[in-house]
Amino acid sequence: MRAAVLVGAGDLRIEDRPAPQPGPGEVLVRVQAVGVCGSDTHYYEHGRIGRFVLDAPLVLGHEASGVVVQTGAGTLGPPVGQRVSIEPGVPDLSCPQCLAGRYNLCPAMRFFATPPVDGAFAELVAVHAAFAHPVPDGVSENAAALLEPLSVGIWACRKGRVTAGSRVLITGAGPIGLVCLQVALAAGATEVVVSDVNPARLALAQQLGASTVLDARTAQLGDLNRPPQVLLECSGYPPVISEAIRALDRAGRAVLVGMGGDEIALPLAVVQERELEVTGTFRYANTWPAAIALVAAGRVDLDRLVTGTYPLEQVEQALTASRQDPAAVKAIVAPQS
């Protein structure tokens, strides 16, 4: 099979590799669509993300959908021919965090496209059968792939306890901000303000139902008519994080989704005086059922986020699409084309 292999920073090659064999409890998936994530672009450009360093060739891509073509020994399902969305992190399912239901915090997590685990920019991948989630026919291949970033949005809204009548501020209107927006609306939020510096992304946020969009180059988050109760921070930009926390209502909740500097200045007096809750998020747990249901019911539109599709041979163009075109939102790699 063909795979796009990152050999070093900026050095990506198409290689022929032996097809993976599904082990016991695994299924082999013919990959149909893979979303490009900012983390893929970061690995491609820098060869590392924080403590994760590329020290051997790595296949990128972790937002994937496809069709089951083979099942390993003892696999209960899904069957051959089933369309699936791949949940790209498989925990050990036996440590205290896993047993507590927080499997995203499993220290033994094996996650696609994170050294040393290969990802899905390939024609075939083997994955734990329970992490290959069946999707209904009405969900497109691209949308099935993008259930992964949608899961990030679902997890952020759960951490922020977004509910009916919530006032939400989303800073950053990239793919994650835009799924957070849609999930917040589906959860019943009645005011969702989205800020960004990119007019094309703000326009898309408006089309997707944002109550207000703010151009962060000129608008002040503190000038909102009513202070938001929940901040879903998706920019990772330290000055914005600080300003957005200051804009929160008393007893508000700040969910830090975006990845920026490892350390930032926190307005601690504001956090204390207003009894703010500040939390990080790390991936997600138990989100695929909700993600599938939201898309199947038409409450979340993931196909609207797709702005380009590329064959495996053009993975590098896909990885740099958002650098080249400010209107680009989500690039998809289609390994079979």
Tell me the number of residues near Zn ion by CB under 5 A: 5
Angstrom CA distances, 35 to 119, 205, 308, stand at 11, 19, 10
User: Distance between CA atoms of 288 and 298, rounded to whole angstroms?
Assistant: 15
Tokens of 171: 């800073």
Q: Under rule CB under 5 A, which residues in 30-69 are in contact with Zn ion?
A: none
Tally of residues, the chain: 337
Per-position x/- string for 243-262, each x denoting binding to Zn ion as judged by CB under 5 A, each - no binding: --------------------
Least CB distance to Zn ion at residue 98 (A): 3
Cis peptide before 311 (omega within 30 of 0): no
**Closer Cβ to Zn ion, 95 or 259, answer by number:** 95
Q: Which is nearer to Zn ion, 88 or 175 (CB)?
A: 88
Instruction: Among 66, 89, 91, 174, indicate the residue that binds Zn ion (CB under 5 A).
Output: 91
Residue nearest to Zn ion (CB): 106
> Taking CA 69 as the corner, what is the angle to CA 145 and CA 56, rounded to the nearest 5 degrees?
65
**Closest CB to Zn ion among 96 and 239?**
96
Residue 42 is which amino acid? Answer: H
Closer to Zn ion by Cβ: residue 167 or 283:
283
How far is 158 from 41, CA to CA, in rounded Å? Answer: 27
Rule CB under 5 A: is residue 92 a binding residue for Zn ion?
A: yes
Q: Which stretch binds Zn ion (CB under 5 A): 93-101, 152-160, 161-169, 204-212?
A: 93-101
Residues 6+ apart with CB under 8 A from 52: 114, 115
Distance CA 46, CA 330 (A): 20
Residue 117 vs 197, nearer CB to Zn ion: 117
Which residue from 95, 219, 264, 270 is in contact with Zn ion, where contact means CB under 5 A? 95
> How far apart are CB 40 and Zn ion at their closest, in Å?
25
How big is the CA angle at 318 (ends 314 and 321), to the nearest 5 degrees?
A: 130
The tokens of 313 are what?
A: 């041979």
205 near Zn ion (CB under 5 A): no
- Pick out residues in 96-115 that bind Zn ion (CB under 5 A): 98, 106
Residues that bind Zn ion (CB under 5 A): 91-92, 95, 98, 106
